């Protein structure tokens, strides 16, 4: 522990500068314009891990953005830890809501402000530096592999195939991921559940062209009027989702487990204040943390159509669109939900419009068992670095590839995240506290140590 702290103290400035170099590469996976940046990021990461002491590092092409695979194999009788992370980031719009350039990292109030500062460049980088630390101090206890992808934020379209094609190469005892949050800076947490996702786009078409809203208004179904009514009917007055069959496969969580979950610290007033809302709203009969942790949800992510420029234009539009996502819980299947949604949405279309529905991406949820060596190792590592036992939490977010890891590779993942809800991931002014960054680097080698000890 002292050795770890000393190495971090002596290298902390350099760690930050190296992370900043990675953050300055705008690797936005969703934007074709940034394709070159995706390559730059992979080359940078490859060099970073080779410099840290990896034996082998390669950038592997896929149909989409490349994957970086790295290994350091020191002892065939020791366990192997596979680190997963993603170098791609979300788009930065709306730009004018940022207080500084999203790709020019800046430290304010002890936090790094930039796109990717937390999700996932900052968190992934803790693993790179923990790896360097263990090699440079001669304390690496086991074999390590890295699989770093560039398509997480667009639904990991190539990674499942990559896993199928590279099953042997990726063989390992556990997958360690830092891409989730903790309850508070002084409350370490291990994420034991992730939600699945069904992400749909709908198109509602009325007349074959935009019409004069005076000449036709009142006599022709307006697709935006139709779409908004249809969307409004997708949840009822108790905030239940009305899509036919939607709850059929939802696993109810036992009262005992709900009681356990309720022990995790959560301050509703602080929660409301942090996002400036008067009242929390959600499915009747469940608490706020249950609504995101163990219950599914449905949200409109975007809606457009008609005239949205300056001033007024009297128009009855031909088309209206929306992007609608549903967060799913364990045992719900995203493909089945896609179909239920499509059938339901088409069935509620009023006369005078045609509806098209397509699925953009999706994936399954994940529940991570706590009776594993990995959980025990993470538990001890956090206890030692934070001086407190971590709390198991079910997160509302999704990392769909995690359930594929289990299905394809047969390997379980341990989700040891160091972000905070206040890090504003995907939002303007994304940030990552320096405290969390360094605490992560301190905790990770302890995980390696205990995981290796307990595996023997």
**Applying CB under 6 A, which part among 104-112, 152-160, 231-239, 369-377 lies near ligand BES?**
152-160
- By CB under 5 A, name the one of 37, 132, 173, 179 that touches Mn ion: 179
Say whether residue 158 binds ligand BES (CB under 6 A). no
Using CB under 6 A as the binding criterion, the count of chain residues that bind ligand BES stands at 15
Residue 326 or 357 with smaller CB distance to Mn ion: 326
Burial class of residue 281 (count of CB atoms within 10 Å of its CB; 0-12, 13-18, 19+): exposed
Q: What mask of x and - would describe binding to ligand BES in positions 166 to 205, judged by CB under 6 A?
A: -------------xxx---------------x--------
Give the SS3 label for residue 442.
helix
Tokens, residue 221: 């179904």
Residues 12-31 that bind ligand BES (CB under 6 A): none
Give the SS3 label for residue 48.
helix
Partner in contact with 440, chosen from Mn ion, ligand BES, none, beta carbon below 5 to 8 Å by kind: none
Tokens, residue 89: 């980031």
What would the DSSP string read from start to end of 95-107? GGG-SS-TTS-EE
- Reported in sequence order, the residue ranges of 61-214 that DSSP labels E, i.e. its strands, are 67-72, 80-86, 106-108, 111-113, 143-149, 174-177, 189-194, 196-205, 211-212
Say whether residue 423 binds ligand BES (CB under 6 A). no
- By CB under 6 A, name the one of 18, 37, 119, 149 that touches ligand BES: 119
Non-local (6+) Cβ contacts of 83 within 8 A are 127, 131, 144, 145, 146, 147, 148, 175, 176, 177
For CA atoms 150, 154, 155, 161, the dihedral sign is negative
Nearest partner of 192 among 134, 253, 116, judged by Cα: 253
Nearest partner of 57 among 45, 66, 65, judged by Cα: 45
Q: What mask of x and - would describe binding to ligand BES in positions 322 to 361, judged by CB under 6 A?
A: ---------------------------------------x
- By CB under 6 A, name the one of 152, 342, 430, 442 that touches ligand BES: 152
- By CB under 5 A, name the one of 18, 37, 118, 119 that touches Mn ion: 119
CB of 246: closest distance to ligand BES in angstroms? 19
**Applying CB under 5 A, which part among 120-128, 186-194, 267-275, 293-301 lies near Mn ion?**
120-128
Nearest partner of 306 among 231, 228, 200, judged by Cα: 228
Contacts with ligand BES by CB under 6 A lie at 119-120, 152-153, 155, 179-181, 197, 361, 395, 397-400
Contacts with Mn ion by CB under 5 A lie at 119-120, 179
């Amino acid at each position: 522990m002292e050795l770890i702290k000393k190495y971090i103290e002596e290298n902390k400035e350099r760690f930050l500068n190296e992370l900043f170099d990675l953050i300055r590469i705008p690797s936005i996976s969703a934007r074709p314009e940034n394709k070159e940046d995706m390559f730059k990021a992979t080359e940078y990461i490859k060099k970073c891990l080779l410099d840290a002491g990896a034996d082998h590092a390669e950038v592997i092409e896929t149909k989409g953005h490349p994957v970086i695979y790295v290994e350091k194999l020191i002892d065939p009788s020791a366990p192997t830890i596979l680190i997963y992370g993603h170098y791609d980031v979300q788009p930065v719009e709306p730009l004018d809501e940022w207080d500084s350039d999203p790709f020019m990292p800046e430290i304010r109030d002890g936090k790094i402000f930039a796109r990717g500062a937390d999700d996932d460049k900052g968190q992934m980088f803790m693993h790179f530096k923990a790896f360097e630390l263990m090699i440079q101090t001669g304390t690496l206890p086991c074999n390590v592999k890295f699989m770093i992808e560039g398509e997480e934020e667009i639904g990991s379209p190539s990674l499942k195939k990559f896993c199928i094609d590279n099953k042997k190469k990726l063989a390992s005892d556990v997958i360690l991921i830092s891409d989730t949050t903790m309850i508070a800076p002084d409350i370490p947490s291990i994420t034991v559940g992730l939600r699945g996702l069904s992400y749909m786009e709908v198109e509602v078409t009325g007349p074959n062209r935009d019409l004069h809203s005076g000449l036709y208004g009142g006599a022709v179904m307006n697709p935006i009027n139709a779409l908004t009514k249809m969307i409004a009917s997708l949840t009822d007055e108790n905030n239940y989702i009305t899509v036919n069959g939607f709850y059929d496969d939802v696993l109810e969580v036992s009262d005992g487990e709900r009681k356990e979950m309720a022990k995790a610290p959560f301050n509703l007033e602080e929660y409301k204040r942090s996002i400036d809302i008067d009242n929390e709203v959600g499915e009747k009969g469940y608490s706020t943390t249950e609504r995101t942790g163990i219950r599914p949800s449905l949200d409109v992510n975007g809606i457009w159509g008609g005239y949205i420029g300056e001033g007024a234009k009297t128009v009855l539009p031909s088309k209206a669109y929306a992007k609608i996502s549903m967060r799913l819980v364990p045992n719900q299947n995203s493909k089945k939900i896609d179909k239920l949604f499509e059938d339901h949405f088409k069935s509620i279309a009023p006369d005078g419009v045609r509806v098209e529905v397509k699925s953009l991406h999706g994936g399954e949820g994940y529940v991570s068992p706590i009776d594993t060596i990995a959980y025990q190792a993470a538990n001890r590592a956090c206890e030692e670095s934070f001086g407190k036992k971590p709390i198991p939490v079910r997160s509302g977010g999704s990392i769909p590839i995690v359930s594929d890891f289990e299905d394809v590779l047969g390997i379980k993942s341990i989700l040891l995240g160091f972000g905070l809800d206040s890090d504003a991931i995907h939002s303007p002014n994304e940030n990552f506290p320096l405290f969390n960054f360094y605490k992560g680097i301190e905790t990770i080698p302890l995980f390696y140590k205990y995981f290796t000890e307990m595996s023997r």
